[in-house]
Each structure stands twice: as structure tokens, then as C-alpha cells.
Structure 1
Amino acid sequence: MQRIHPWTIKWLLPVVILLSVLLTGASAAAADSDASDTAAGAAIYVIKAENTVEPGLYQHLKRAYKEAEEAKASRVLLVLNTLGGRLDSALEIGELIRSSKVPTTAFIEGKAVSAGTYIALNAQQIVMQPGSTIGAAAVVDESGTLITNPKTISFWTGEMKAAAQLNHRNPDLAAAMVNPALTLDLKELGRTKAKGDILTLSDQEAVKVGYAESTASTVEDAINGLKLSQPLIVNYEESALVKIGQFLTLPIVMTLLLIIGIAGVAIEFMIPGFGAPGIIGLCAFVLYFFGHYVAGFAGFEDVILFIVGLLLLVSEFFIPSFGILGILGSISLVSSVLLAAPNPKSALLSLVAAVLIAGVIVYLVAKRFAHKGIWNKFILRDQLTTAEGYVSSANKSAYLGMRGIAITTLRPAGTARIGDARVDVVTLGEFLAAGTDIVVVKVEGTRVVVQQRSEIN
């Protein structure tokens, strides 16, 4: 049985422990943050949502609303300034706002279009900054092209109308913000929404049609408009740990960590003994999962799946499995990376790019240090040439002309003693009895040809 490579015990176990400590620390930090309390019923939580609507924004708002609920805040002022984003994330945020125990006032500071409009419609109140807009919620693909699939339009129209009706707003206006095929007479505004257009409302228009309660120039003005008695204003800020996690989950950073992780581990497996590539590679994976964990995307199960995959890959080098362990390990590693990411499709693209770039790096390193590669343990690299002292069989040319005696009857093959050696010999066809004196007349490779000595005397 082969001994487990020292790298496995020396580096893998400490890194696993480090990952566990980091994740446990992140959980404790989150718990400490959640435990913060303010005066019951007196706080207004100001929460900013100024990014693209995507899973990261949902996780940010989820943490913020949780803290506001635990602080027993009287209201959340959600500051919106977004051009939209993913519909699935918008639906999750809408559900978060509707189900929260703390009522929400959405303050549109700039724009709340597309998915941002849906988020605002789920708030109990909407306050708009002068010059801001709401609407233009038609569904588009990643390239910005309008989606005309009737099922998609019907679904999103229904969601927008339901959000509008939830807080007694005109659902037909919400539908006109989604479906370009609709026409609508906007009597309050003195204009018509024509077929082919997408409805967008300015701050003043939104107030006129009842989509916004009022306008306010600043967050302070919006808070004053709520007319609460001496409210305690809490500006929600993410913890430093979460900000680090958000940085580590940026697409470019995520891809870079995957490149370093894959290349480092692969180099350590293929050219063992260096140590540094394996440590750096595993640390990159630790940062990848740590970032996704504190950002709220990954759980312990994703980390465990990654560790299991790594152990399976290591086992493939020491336990004959005809590649089964290696395949299962690879599947576990890929699955853990994709499951930990907020967007599996984006994560898959990052993983493919990382594999290709890491492959080039590993190739160059392996080529440079080929003499130390693990494959040298399985491949015979010595050239078995005569110049190197290797021969395929014993050299019998020295027997030519030597005399000997037949030990066995030669029929025509047999055994003879030539000098001090027993040699397999053959005659030219005649039979010679044992004890006959012979002489070697020809040597062809391993074939020694003899004749009776009296016949050539």
C-alpha cells in the first residue's frame, strides 16, 4: 500500500480547520450584528438600494430588514436608485418587503425603473425626489433587447398589477409600464399612452395618479414627511466582514480566486514537494467560499461538498478506482463552486474561464519542472540502448571458434559445454550423440551453431 502524500496531511487539514474557523467567526459576527438593539418602536432604518437588482442586493436587504425587525423599528425608509436587473431577485425583494413586520416607505432618489419599479410598488408608501422617474418595466434580455414572449409578458404584467393593487394603486398603470401593446388614456395627465410605448411617470405625474404620496428633495425631507415624533434615525451599514465578502464575490475577483485555486492545487498534485502552490491554491478556495458565505450565498453544505470533492481527488492518487474517485471528486468540486455562487450561469462561465487559464499555467509550470513531475514515478525514462550498457540478451559472439563437448544428444538442438558454460546449441541438421567433441562454427544472435570437431579437422 502506498503512503499518503505528506501534502495531504500537512496542508489540507490545517486549511480545512482555517475555513471552519473563518465561517464560524462570520456566523458569530453576524449574530453580534443582529443582536444590536435600539429603542423599541422609535427607530427609522434608512436602507440604501442603489445597485443593480441581483442576488447580492437581495441578501443585503435581507440582512437589513432582519436587523430592523429585531430592533423593533417603526419604519424602513428604502432609498431606491436603480435601473433594474434580474426579475427573480426583484420578486424575492418584493416578497421581503411585503412580509416584513416593519412597514416600508420607498424613497426614489433618481430612478426606479424596470425591476426597481416593482420593488417600489411593494412598499406601503412611495416618496419621489424631484426629477426622478418610475416605470419602464418592460422585460428585456441580457443584451437589452425587448422580450416579446407572450407568457413572459403576461406573467410580469400580473406581478406588477398585483403589487400595485396591494397598496391601492391603479393596476392598469402598472400593466402599461410592462406591456407595449396596451393603450391607455391618462386623463389625469392629459395624455395617452400609445401602443408601442412603455409608460414612465415623473415625480409629479406619479403624485397625480396616486402612485406616489409626495415628493422630497433629500432623505431628511422624506423622513420629516413621515411626521413621526422625534424618530431615531439609523443608517444601516454593512459590517466590514460583509463588505469583504461582497468584494470577494465580484465576478472578476471570483474568477481570479478560481484560477489561483485550480492552478495551485493542480501544480501541487502534479509536482509534489513545493508546498507553496498547494497552500496558495487552497487559500484561494477558502477565500472563495468564505466570501460567498459571509455575503449570504453559500452555506456549510457547499463547503462540505467542496472538501469531500478534494478528498476524493486526493484518494484517486492512492486507491485504484479506474478513475471513479477522480470523476466523483471533480463533480463534487464543480457542484460546490456553482451552488455557492449567486448566479450559477455566471459562475459556470467563470469556472470555465478559470479552468482554461489555469490549464495554461499548469502546462507551463509542468513543462518547466517536468523532471519533478509525479508521472516520473510511473514512467521509465531511461533509454535501454547498447551505448548505455543495456542489451536485450547475452552476447554469444565470443563462442565463435571455441571447442566444447555435447552434454545431451543434439537432435539437432541440445546442450553443450563450451568453456565453463552450459550453452544451448544447434547443429546444421545432423544428430550428434552426447559426449561428441564439437566446435562453434557460427553465432547468429542467440543461436549458436556447432559441428563435430573431427569433421572439420
Structure 2
Amino acid sequence: MKRFPFLFIFFLYSVVFGTNAAEKPLIYKIDIKKEIGSTTWRYMQKGNDEAVKHGADAILLHLNTYGGTVVHADSIRTLILNSKIPVYAFIDNNAASAGALIAIACDSIYMRPGANIGAVTVVNETGAAMPDKYQSYMRATIRSTAEAHGADTTITSKGDTVIHWRRDPRIAEAMVDERVVIPNVVDSGKVLTLTAQEAVKLGYCEGIVNSVDEIATKHLGYKDYRIEQYKPSVYDEIAGFLSNPALQAILIMIIIGGIYFELQSPGLGFPSAAAIIAAILYFAPLYMSGMAESWEILIFVAGIILLVLELLVIPGFGVAGILGSIFIFTGLILALVNNVNFDFSPVASQDISRSILTVVSGIICGFALTLYLAHKIGSKGIFRRLALQSSQEVKEGYIGVPERLFEMVGKEGVAATILRPAGKVTIGDDDYDAVALYGYIERGEPVKVVKTENSQLYVVKK
């Protein structure tokens, strides 16, 4: 009984203070302080999921970036616009290019004194502006982002309708296109970048602040609040790096090249090891993040098996080879698409196009690299040691093929498999690799050996 007062006091303390803690608004903070890319896109995805899981009242993006890839900026922008939790941007220093697009998507923008936002022109790796078709897409994207925040309409005394945008789409467009002229804001020939004071004046900043606490207390009205921060793990960094489309295309190149060279010299060697490692690096982060499902990986594996069977077991290149190629191509694409089982309704068309472009570019570059290496191996340069250089002359006693094959010339037999044009023939009690010299030869048809080359018999229909 003596313990009862202490238990009662502890219960009251837990109820009062525990309830108060639970009632405090929760701000979930995500730092984006590097180039916009696959890694920051992963930060946003994981951070948003964690915010929803913890029941956050607001998400705060702490921005300091000079930009990055359009594709990942667009993905982050779309996630923010569709978020059920209000998302606020705190521009610590810079929100340039892709960073500006992300900030404009947020419900409110707050800037530190001396911070800047703008300069959203699409540029290439050298910093030169891309052709107008790229700028046109970005102009439309940033306009629609600004328009998503709505507008107020008023009717003048003359009956005219005046639209007052919360964020003027023309100002957003001027951040992309140097040809846009806005009186007293930007002249022709200059891409718009706003200081903190200019952004407040033009409705692109809700307040100039020095800290996150000032945003929470002064602008969001939280007298007391909790703040949690998304902390990326080492795996997040690695997965983000491996999810880069350029790296994924390179991994596809290695997969295709490894498969080709391995089929040229069957057996587990360096090409197969390279292809297997590249496939693991390609699928593993996608599977762990929930993008790739087991059945999509199995489609890819089934394609490899069919292709190997077609090239090594089933002579020629027919249905199995075609299906194998389709399965490989499909598996690589589906792994990049964020579908749920066989439901593709949530997948945007641009995501599918992006996945196809990544895979196709990887396959094309893979074939190009394969042809280049096949031509260079054994020649001068760094590839010289990858092939046997010495020659083995017949006069020295070296024989390239068994002498028995030469004895087969002129003999007759039957086709043991379909020759289209390669296959097997039976002569006497033995089977031999053979190639139809003209057209295809059906199984069971009589054949005659006319010559032998490269350890193969060349036959014609009898």
C-alpha cells in the first residue's frame, strides 16, 4: 500500500506531461543541401514516408542547392504538390535551377537574409543552355507549379475579371526564359533571380527568417512544437547513387556486354561475373526500395535462361531467342516503374518513357561497346593482352580441327535437329555440329557433307 501514492503520482505525471508532448505539433525536417539527383530524390521519398508514419503536422525542406537533374526535380516537385502534409521551404542560401522549382512547389517559402531563388534555365554538363524544346517543357512545368497554388479573382467596376495569383506564373517563367519581360522586374535578355527582399515583394517568399524556430513560432503559430529530422543511412546514400539513370544505363551496358562475351566462350569467366555483379547492382536497390518486385526480376532471369538455351542448346535463333530478348528488355524496364503488382494506373506516362529511354540507351551503348571491344581485343593497345597472339602453324604439327572431320566430306546422313542454319546431323552412329549451306533443313531430312570449316560440317539436302 505504501507504493500506491508513488504509482498514482507517476500515473498523473505520465498522463499530463505525456499528453502534452503528444499534443505538440510535429515538424519533420528534411535537408536537401546537395545537387538534386537520385540521392536527394530518395531523401524526399523516405523523409515523406517517415513524416506520414509519425503523423507530422508539417514537413520543412531545408534547401541549399545550386540545382541538378530535371527528372529528379520534377519527381520531388510532384511529390510535394500531392503531399497531404503541408510542405514548407527554408532557403538557407541558394535555391537555384532545380532547387527553385522544388521551392516553388512548396506551400510556403521562407528565406534567410542574403538568400537567392531563380535561374531555372535548363543547361547541359558544360553549363550551356539546352535547345528550346527543353526550355519549353521547363517553362510549362514551372508555370503549372506556380498556378497550383491558386489565385483570387475580382470583378472590376467595368465588369472585367482580374486574376491575382498567389505566385505569378509569369515571374516563374522569367526564371527560365530570358525573353520574358516583366516591367520593373526583369528586362529582356536576363534570366530572373530574386533576392529575399525581392521574393517577398513579388509573393515568392512568405517571410525572411534566420532559423527554423522563427518559422515555427512566428509564421506557423506554434508556441511549442517538436522537430524530428530525417537522417539518411549509408544504405540510402549507396542506393541513391546506384539509382542514378546514367549509372543504371552503364550497368545495363555491362550486363549486355557480359552476356555477349560469355556466349562467345561458354563457361563461367570474367564476362559472366561482370554481368552478374552489374545485374545485382541494378536490381538490388530497386528491389529494396520497393520499385522492383520479385516477378519483375524473375522475368529478367527467365529471359537470360531462354537466350542461353536458344544459343547453346536449340540451334539457330527462333522463338526462344526472341522471347528471351523481350523478357530481358521487359524486366529491365519494369524494375524502373513504380507499379503495384500488375496495376500500372498510378504510373505516369513520363515515368514509363523515362524507364524505356534509360534501358534503350543502355542497350544501344552496350552493343556499341561490345562491337568496339570485339574489334579491339587482340590488337594493339590496352586490349592486346586479352587475346592469344601466337600463331600455331600446320607445318609445325598443329591441327585446328580433328582430322576425322575432314574424312566426313562426301558422306551422307540425316538431320538430327532443324538446321536454321546451324544444328546437328547424324552420320553413322555419331552426331556432329553442322551448318546448312543453303536455306533451312528440317529434322529427319537426308543430308550430304560438302565441306568442313571451324570444327563444323557444312551440309546440303541430298
TM-score (norm 2): 0.61
d(CA) in 2 for partners of 1:255, 1:148: 26
Secondary structure at 1:237's aligned position in 2?
Answer: coil
CA spacing shift, 1:181–1:157, aligned 2, 3 Å: farther
SS in 1 for 2:231: coil
CA gap 1:274/1:177 in 2 versus in 1, 3 angstroms: closer
Instruction: Work out whether residues 283 and 292 of structure 2, in 8 Å CA contact, stay in contact via their aligned partners in 1.
Output: yes
Structure 2 CA distance, aligned partners of 1:45 and 1:219?
A: 11
Could you tell me which amino acid in structure 2 is paired with residue 319 of structure 1?
Answer: I
Are positions 1:169 and 2:167 aligned together?
A: yes
- Matching of residue 99 in structure 1 with residue 82 in structure 2: yes
SS at match of 1:105: strand
Give the residue type in structure 1 aligned to 2:331.
Answer: S
Unmatched segments (≥5 aa) in structure 1: 1-37, 187-191, 371-379, 394-457
1:236 to 230, 233, 242: 230
CA distance in 2, matches of 1:309, 1:44: 47
Go from structure 1 to structure 2 and tell me whether the alpha carbon gap of 1:68 and 1:41 turns closer, same or farther (over 3 Å shift). Answer: farther
Q: Which residue of 2 aligns with 1:286?
A: 280
Q: In the aligned structure 2, how far is the partner of 1:96 from the partner of 1:139?
A: 21
The answer to which of 48-57 and 226-235 deviates more is: 48-57
Give the conservation status (yes or no) of the 8 Å contact 1:130–1:215: yes
Matched, 1:381 2:401: yes
Q: Aligned ranges for residues 144-293 of structure 1 at < 5 Å?
A: 144-145=128-129, 147-148=131-132, 152=137, 155-156=140-141, 158-163=143-148, 165=150, 168-186=166-184, 192-219=185-212, 221-223=214-216, 225=218, 226-250=220-244, 254=248, 257-258=251-252, 261-262=255-256, 264-274=258-268, 278=272, 281-293=275-287
Q: Partner letter of residue 249 of structure 1?
A: S
Task: Give 1:270 shift.
Answer: 3.9
Given that 2:113 and 2:196 are in contact with CA atoms closer than 8 Å, whether structure 1 keeps it comes out as yes
Contact 1:40 1:72 in 2 (8 A): no
Q: Does structure 1 retain, via aligned residues, the 8 Å contact 2:39–2:236?
A: no
Q: 1:221/1:351 Cα in 2 relative to 1: closer, same or farther (>3 Å)?
A: farther
More off after superposition, 193-202 vs 300-309 = 300-309
Q: Deviations over 1:430-455 (max 9, x none)?
A: xxxxxxxxxxxxxxxxxxxxxxxxxx
Paired residues for 1:288-437 under 5 Å:
288-295=282-289, 297-316=291-310, 317-320=312-315, 322-341=317-336, 344-357=356-369, 367-368=387-388, 381-383=401-403
Distance 2:297 2:408 in 1: 56
Q: Which moved more, 1:313-322 or 1:270-279?
A: 270-279
What is the CA–CA distance in structure 2 between the aligned matches of 1:215 and 1:107, rounded to whole Å?
9
Structure 1 CA distance for aligned equivalents of residues 167 and 42 of structure 2: 28
Instruction: Using the aligned pairs only, state the percent identity.
Output: 30
Distance 1:291 1:265 in 2: 22
Q: Which amino acid aligns with 2:115?
A: S
The superposition leaves residues 365-411 of structure 1 with CA deviations (integer Å, 9 ceiling, x where unpaired) of 995599xxxxxxxxx823579xx9x6989xxxxxxxxxxxxxxxxxx
Paired with 1:301 and 1:222, the residues of 2 have a C-alpha distance of 46
Residue 80 of structure 1 contacts residue 116 of structure 1 at CA under 8 Å; is this kept in 2? yes
Contact 2:38 2:243 in 1 (8 A): no
Q: Which amino acid aligns with 1:247?
A: F
Say if 1:253 and 1:85 are closer, same or farther in 2 by CA, change over 3 A: closer
Does the 8 Å CA contact 1:104/1:124 hold for their aligned counterparts?
A: yes
Aligned counterpart, 1:73: 56
Instruction: Indicate the structure (1 or 2) with the bigger Cα radius of gyration.
Output: 1
- SS of corresponding position for 2:313: coil
Aligned-residue offset at 1:169 = 3.0
User: What do the CA deviations read for 1:36-90 (whole angstroms, capped 9, x no partner)?
Assistant: xx95763211112234445554443123212201211111111222333455544
**1:136 matched to 2:119:** yes
Q: Which amino acid aligns with 2:196?
A: D
1:262 positional shift: 4.2
C-alpha distance after superposition, 1:80-120 (max 9, x if no partner): 22333455544443332232221111011222233322321
Tell me the equivalent position of 1:126: 109
Query: How far apart are 1:335 and its partner, in Å?
Result: 4.0
- Could you say what the CA RMSD is over the residues aligned between the two structures, in angstroms? 4.1
The superposition leaves residues 235-294 of structure 1 with CA deviations (integer Å, 9 ceiling, x where unpaired) of 102344333322333467546644654455445544344467545532431222112333
| Change in CA separation of 1:329 and 1:173 when aligned onto 2, cut-off 3 Å | same
> Taking structure 1 as reference, are residues 130 and 275 closer, same or farther at Cα in structure 2, changes over 3 Å only?
same
2:28 pairs with 1:45 = yes
What CA distance in whole angstroms lies between the structure 1 residues aligned with 2:245 and 2:132?
Answer: 29
| Aligned residue identity for 1:168 | R
8 Å CA contact retained: 2:329, 2:359:
no
Structure 1 residue aligned with 2:416 = none
Question: Secondary structure at 1:185's aligned position in 2?
Answer: coil
1:184 Cα offset (Å):
2.0
- 1:109 corresponds to which of 78, 86, 92: 92
Q: TM-score, normalised by structure 1?
A: 0.61
Residues of 2 paired with 1:118 and 1:203: CA distance? Answer: 16
Q: Classify 1:39/1:264 alpha carbon distance in 2 versus 1 (closer, same or farther; 3 Å).
A: farther
